[in-house]
Amino acid sequence: MVTAPLLDVNGLRVSFPGRGRRSRPVEVLHGVDLAVGAGEAHGLVGESGSGKTTIGRAVLGLVEAGGGTIRFGGRDVTRLAGRVGRALAREIQVVFQDPYSSLNPSLTVGDILSEPLVVQGAAPAAARERVRDLLDRVGLPADAAERLPREFSGGQRQRVAIARALAPEPRLIVCDEPVSALDLSTQARVLDLLRDVQRRTGVAYLFISHDLAVVRHMCHRVSVIHRGDIVETGPAGPVTSAPRHPYTRRLMLASPVADPAAQAERRAARRRLAEAERTGTV
């Protein structure tokens, strides 16, 4: 029996105002289709300006869809507002890119984590117990609740952001470049944490990234976006190791390797591929 996806984006179009009063709107998404299954980590990959973050923001309701539909759990949530929209916010959470600006610097970690619980009606004692559980789940000590975000490293702050996203027990978390602002060793620890959280909770991820290597490590399936269009979708292994589309191949060749000779060959291969695309011989 075929199960309907948890998140089903169909024909999504998004436009932004053009520069100047008389400028026409600029369409940045041109009818995007995307599906994320329950408990799945689905990677959305593209370079800066490709439209990947705009898809995530549309799913979160932070930008308005100009066309198409967004269905979540079988319900059309394309244009929700008011009480229904707030209820949906409990089921869809987000981890932002920058762990230094995504946390309120004037609140303690305990207040940051308990705030969404109290808003949902949790008693203070229950909220405090839940905060202790969340901190333990993301590998932070219990006394972290009494400290301010500035007292933590970037990786620890991102753990707090993950705990905040987990607080309302969502079914989907939009991870918008969650490790790109971290050093390599910290990236690995945060990615391992996200995978462990998914194994224990069954939460689904829409994992937005520019890095195919990160997506290969993290995701079950991958969609590649280029200039507002999905150009390739499939299982993470084939898409990230033997891609079919020239743009995906260029992304793969853009990933750095430690061997200088191999890196030079990658640059040369990328230039050849770009030239072949330009001349239409690919």
Shared domain for 173 and 277, answered yes or no, is no
Q: What is the pLDDT of residue 146?
A: 95
Alpha carbon distance 111, 164 (integer Å): 10
Lowest-pLDDT choice from 160-164, 201-205, 233-237, 255-259: 255-259
Domain count, the chain: 2
Shared domain for 236 and 255, answered yes or no, is no
Alpha carbon distance 210, 203 (integer Å): 22
Shared domain for 84 and 177, answered yes or no, is yes
253 versus 84: which is more confidently predicted? 253
Q: What is the pLDDT of residue 201?
A: 94
Which helix H or strand E contains 252, and what residues bound it? helix 246-254
In contact, 55 and 9? CB cutoff 8 Å = yes
Written as one string, the DSSP assignment of 65-79 is: -SEEEEEETTEE-TT
Lowest-pLDDT choice from 72-81, 145-154, 213-222: 72-81
Shared domain for 216 and 256, answered yes or no, is no
272 assigned to some structural domain: yes
Shared domain for 75 and 184, answered yes or no, is yes
84 assigned to some structural domain: yes
Condensed to tens digits (0 to 9), the pLDDT of residues 58-70 reads 999 899 999 999 9
Shared domain for 281 and 195, answered yes or no, is no
Shared domain for 229 and 252, answered yes or no, is no
Shared domain for 212 and 254, answered yes or no, is no
221 assigned to some structural domain: yes
Angle between helices 124-137 and 154-166 (to 10 degrees): 130
Confidence tier at 176 by pLDDT (50, 70, 90): very high
Percent of the chain with pLDDT over 90: 66
Shared domain for 39 and 76, answered yes or no, is yes
Quick check: helix, strand or coil at residue 33? strand
Alpha carbon distance 207, 219 (integer Å): 8
Confidence tier at 121 by pLDDT (50, 70, 90): confident
In contact, 229 and 30? CB cutoff 8 Å = yes
Is it the case that residue 254 has pLDDT exceeding 60?
yes
Q: What is the pLDDT of residue 28?
A: 96
Q: What is the pLDDT of residue 1?
A: 45
Lowest-pLDDT choice from 26-40, 182-196, 255-269: 255-269
In contact, 110 and 131? CB cutoff 8 Å = yes
In contact, 95 and 158? CB cutoff 8 Å = yes
Is it the case that residue 38 has pLDDT exceeding 80?
yes
Q: What is the pLDDT of residue 116?
A: 85
Q: What is the pLDDT of residue 85?
A: 67
Condensed to tens digits (0 to 9), the pLDDT of residues 5-35 reads 999 999 999 999 988 777 889 999 999 999 9
Shared domain for 258 and 213, answered yes or no, is no
The CATH number for 100's domain is 3.40.50.300
Instruction: Output the pTM of the full model.
Output: 0.90
Domain carrying residue 48: 7-17+26-104+169-240
Shared domain for 229 and 260, answered yes or no, is no
153 assigned to some structural domain: no
273 assigned to some structural domain: yes
Is it the case that residue 50 has pLDDT exceeding 70?
yes
Shared domain for 211 and 262, answered yes or no, is no
Is it the case that residue 233 has pLDDT exceeding 90?
yes
Is it the case that residue 84 has pLDDT exceeding 70?
no
